[in-house]
Amino acid sequence: MKDQRAARVQPSSRISRRGRPVGTTKTRQQEMRDRVRTVATLNHLFIKVCCANNLAQFSRWFDEAMHARCPGRTWDTNVSNKWRKNFYGTAAMTDEWVQYLGVLFPDGRYYSAQEAIGDPLACVPTQPLAGMSNGVMGALTWFRDGPGQLWHAIWEDTAFGVWDADSYEAALDDLEMKLYSNFDCDEPIAYEDLAQAVRLYRAQLPVDDPARLEYPLEWGIRSYLCLKLAIAANQPDVLGVMSDIADYFADIELVRLKTDRDYAFAIRKEWMRRGLSCAPSVGEYVMNPFLSLWDQCSSEHFCRRYARLASLTDRSLRPAK
């Protein structure tokens, strides 16, 4: 039995055990992707270890749990502080260590304080994480795909054209209605909704002249507001990466505004269409467009909505502690 357990945790021979191939350098986007996947996965799994209240306790628990499953090697992550850089996002997890976490978390199980080393509580919690539905994914799937396929939506080319509607406009209408209604009614906004907001925002980004004609500039503004709302609704940030995601898309939007005068003018027209006298500055729109909407709103309902969104957006831009 011990031999069988040990065999389960051996990394694939096709996977590099240490670092990247000699002579290769990560791009900024690859570094950001690795950081987000690493930090989010570990914060998610940390919550599932009920006997660990800090990083040192998590490391000791990991060493003991892995030693019970694979006693043929030394597990000393607590001594080496192996997890510290991963938790803080200064170093990405290698595939080898993701596989080890997959052994302890093959599904959505939790570990109780009484059963830290014995059989885990293989059940879905009755209360999901604050603000988001987390499902029953294991560590491998969580790291690869993200909650609600969020990592795929952000970085994979397959994100384009994927929506359950007859057209892009219909999908955007549906998402707007869902996000604003749920937010106003204090209903949770799922990671799937955030992933959909990302897909719709990325799909309308102009890559050539035909794309500019296919997606009116107004859709870009609406999709960006949906994206900012979905990020803001995830407060407190239990995964510790929403500020990274917010900054990533703010940079994309800023570049577009600086290079596309028509898009910048479309924002002014959209604010006028809403009955507002003054459009936000480029920096204000990119970082927190809800401040301008709140400052100029005349309806008590909309003032309450945009005041909350402006506050939550400001919090979403701060790195999680």
75 and 34 part of one domain: yes
213 and 189 part of one domain: yes
298 and 179 part of one domain: yes
14: confidence class by pLDDT, cuts 50, 70, 90: very low
| Dihedral sign, Cα of residue 46, residue 49, residue 53, residue 57 | negative
Gap between the Cα atoms of 179 and 193, Å rounded: 8
Gap between the Cα atoms of 286 and 222, Å rounded: 13
123: confidence class by pLDDT, cuts 50, 70, 90: very low
166 and 30 part of one domain: no
Gap between the Cα atoms of 211 and 216, Å rounded: 9
Task: Tell me whether residue 321 is in a domain.
Answer: no
pTM: predicted TM-score of the whole model, two decimal places = 0.85
* Residue predicted with more confidence, 136 or 259: 259
Domain residue limits at 270: 151-316
Give the mean model confidence (pLDDT) for residues 171-175: 96
259 and 230 part of one domain: yes
Give the mean model confidence (pLDDT) for residues 149-171: 81
For residue 8, the one-letter residue type is R
162: confidence class by pLDDT, cuts 50, 70, 90: low
pLDDT score, position 295: 93
Quick check: 64 pLDDT over 70? yes
138 and 187 part of one domain: no
pLDDT score, position 160: 52
Quick check: 164 pLDDT over 50? yes
291: confidence class by pLDDT, cuts 50, 70, 90: very high
Within 8 A by CB and 6+ apart from 272, the residues are 279
